[in-house]
Structure 1
Amino acid sequence: MTDDHDHGHSHSHGHTGTHGPHHHDHTDIDWSSMAPLLERQAEVQSSAYAEAAAWLGTLVPVSGVRRVLDVGSGPGVLTCLLAEAFPGAETVAVDGTPELLARASARAEARGLSGRVSTLHAELPEEFAKLGEADVIWAAESLHHLGDQRAALNALAGLLRPGGLLVLVEGGLPARRLPRELGFGRPGLEARLDALSAEWFGEMRAALPGAKAEVDDWRALLASTGLVPAGTRSFLSDIPAPVPPVVREQIVFQFERTSQSVDERLAADDRETLARLLDPADPGSLHHRPDLFQLVARTVHTARKG
């Protein structure tokens, strides 16, 4: 599986770790089992993404946008936001996991968008040509699942119509959900989890077919394709404590994934702290804490075809 549905992680070594594999001996990602997590993550952050989509409308003439590609769409939360931001366009959810595309279709239908949202199954990087031309190409947290990111950007740039916009959501800041001092265990657990997840993420990248190490200078990479950088902005998802139940549930799910992926790397005392955080019977757990919050910054890079 080479394309991504991971809308809602801050990677670039600020990776939240919820990519965690089911087994510790490899870094394959079972996307269909992650569908609920991916959906909730994107929903929780949808105000930041809606703001980002509205910003795109200031960079291209909205009425002239006829076709939008969401590359690595996953369950289609952002596909629907893009369809709402570009009402004159056909918006296409592109993914390599049929179960996630089925969710994207159902979501579009539930929002009255099924006439304008379609899905396309494509394995990337092999099937870029299948995607067809577009006025706006959006790739959120999907490029870093392709071994050769520069080649992938070149392929995407080649699909843009004149005046079209390529949009990458990559990087930002690691999510923060817990106070530094939890009342038990060693303070600063979340920062240590981030560091371990960044190691995991590096191994995942290195294991990809055709993996090429590349500086995460997205503006320079976009410019290298012949596109003209059109601006970079970061968007904040800020949900203060006490978080609503849907956000709490998502945070628990994220920490469960993180626990699976970094378990063997964790110091014994941190493993114990994490076990307490995930134990619904513990009053200090994620299930009951009044001090849970969620603060995430997503960075959006854009470039235009001349």
Structure 2
Amino acid sequence: MAGTNTATTTAAVMAEILELDAEVLGTYLSELTTWLGELSDREPVRIVDLGSGTGTGAIALARRFPRAEVSAVDVSPQMLHRLSVKASGPGLADRVRGVQADLDQGRPALPTSDLVWAAAVLHHLADPDRVLSHVFDALRPGGLVAITEMDFFPRFLPEDIEVGRPGLEARVHDAFKGAPDAGWTDHLVRAGFTPEAERPFVIDLPAPLPDATARYAQACLRKLRSHLDGQLPAEDLAALDAVTDDEGPHGVLRRDDLTVRTTRTTWVGRRP
């Protein structure tokens, strides 16, 4: 029972981050989906979103390509439920459908597609090359696969935060980051794709920002904090707790000087 509760809580935290990410970074999503439309040899009418989560990508793609049917594949029924609620509005309910499947287990039935979108999911898989080979089989000749990864978690805080720990956020990120990502071009080639493009999207949103930014910052920083016990001095952990506190005077929910700084890179491959 405890394990189930933990999994449910983790899913809820990730769902909140994904939905706030879509709300705060809507302009970036619009720019990315527009670019994919420019790379496509024709307007996509069948799209697959692998590891869709709550449907950030699926909804953005359905709105960008109004003739498209979008299959959103995710292992979590909670995520897919949130997606179905978001997709219940006019113009989307009959075009976005959830498909529950574990990408590490077997080959989910995918329609022959014009575009497959995989955002921040392939690095979680045990064998991403196997999944990319399956994607290759599911795409029509000339179809595209778009792989997006976050280069680093967003940064939000000014350097001179009022908790006596200048440079706190930089140290948090240094403690959290793993090995550098070599990219996905070689994986695409091994699966049979022709590399089409690689593009970094630099996101630098200055203050003042919409209210959702504070909740986004809090959720992201709390997610980082959950992995950092023993990785930072106690003073840094206490300062991080202070800036993520709901009621504290230094909490991000009370700040009007937050920014959003991050980079996301997209690799695009085409099936010959």
Instruction: Find 1:60's aligned residue among 40, 45, 49.
Output: 40
The RMSD of aligned alpha carbons is 2.4
Quick check: 1:100 aligned with 2:79? yes
In structure 2, what residue type is equivalent to 1:279? Answer: D
Mean Cα displacement is larger for which, 238-247 or 267-276? 238-247
> What residue in structure 2 maps to residue 241 of structure 1?
207
Quick check: 1:265 aligned with 2:221? no
TM-score normalised per structure 1: 0.80
> What residue in structure 2 maps to residue 34 of structure 1?
14
Report the Cα distance in structure 2 between the residues aligned to 1:253 and 1:288, rounded to whole angstroms. 14
Uncovered stretches (5+) of structure 1, i.e. residues with no partner: 1-21, 203-213
> What residue in structure 1 maps to residue 109 of structure 2?
130
Indicate how the Cα distance of structure 1 residues 167 and 127 shifts in structure 2: closer, same or farther if over 3 A, else same.
Answer: same
Report the Cα distance in structure 1 between the residues aligned to 2:212 and 2:111, rounded to whole angstroms. 37
In structure 2, what residue type is equivalent to 1:181? Answer: D
SS, match of residue 214 in structure 2: helix
Report the Cα distance in structure 1 between the residues aligned to 2:75 and 2:46, rounded to whole angstroms. 20
> What residue in structure 2 maps to residue 12 of structure 1?
none
What per-residue deviation string (whole Å, max 9, x for no partner) do you get for residues 111-139 of structure 1? 53111111111111223242232110000
> What residue in structure 2 maps to residue 219 of structure 1?
185
Kept in 1: contact 2:206–2:259 (CA 8 A): yes
Instruction: Find 2:64's aligned residue among 66, 71, 85.
Output: 85
Quick check: 1:294 aligned with 2:260? yes
Kept in 2: contact 1:185–1:270 (CA 8 A): no
> What residue in structure 2 maps to residue 187 of structure 1?
166
Report the Cα distance in structure 1 between the residues aligned to 2:249 and 2:35, rounded to whole angstroms. 42
Higher RCO, Cα 8 Å, sep 6+? 1
Q: How does 1:107-122 map to 2 (within 5 A)?
A: 107-122=86-101
Indicate how the Cα distance of structure 1 residues 128 and 42 shifts in structure 2: closer, same or farther if over 3 A, else same.
Answer: farther
SS, match of residue 255 in structure 2: coil
> What residue in structure 2 maps to residue 16 of structure 1?
none
- Displacement, 1:177? 0.6
Kept in 2: contact 1:62–1:86 (CA 8 A): no
Quick check: 1:44 aligned with 2:10? no
Misfit runs of 4+, over 4 Å: none
- Displacement, 1:195? 2.1
SS, match of residue 228 in structure 2: helix
Kept in 1: contact 2:48–2:116 (CA 8 A): yes
Report the Cα distance in structure 2 between the residues aligned to 1:286 and 1:168, rounded to whole angstroms. 31
SS, match of residue 263 in structure 1: coil
- Displacement, 1:106? 1.4
Quick check: 1:73 aligned with 2:39? no
In structure 2, what residue type is equivalent to 1:156? Answer: V
Uncovered stretches (5+) of structure 2, i.e. residues with no partner: none
In structure 1, what residue type is equivalent to 2:27? Answer: S
In structure 2, what residue type is equivalent to 1:276? Answer: A
State percent identity of aligned pairs: 34
In structure 1, what residue type is equivalent to 2:35? Answer: W
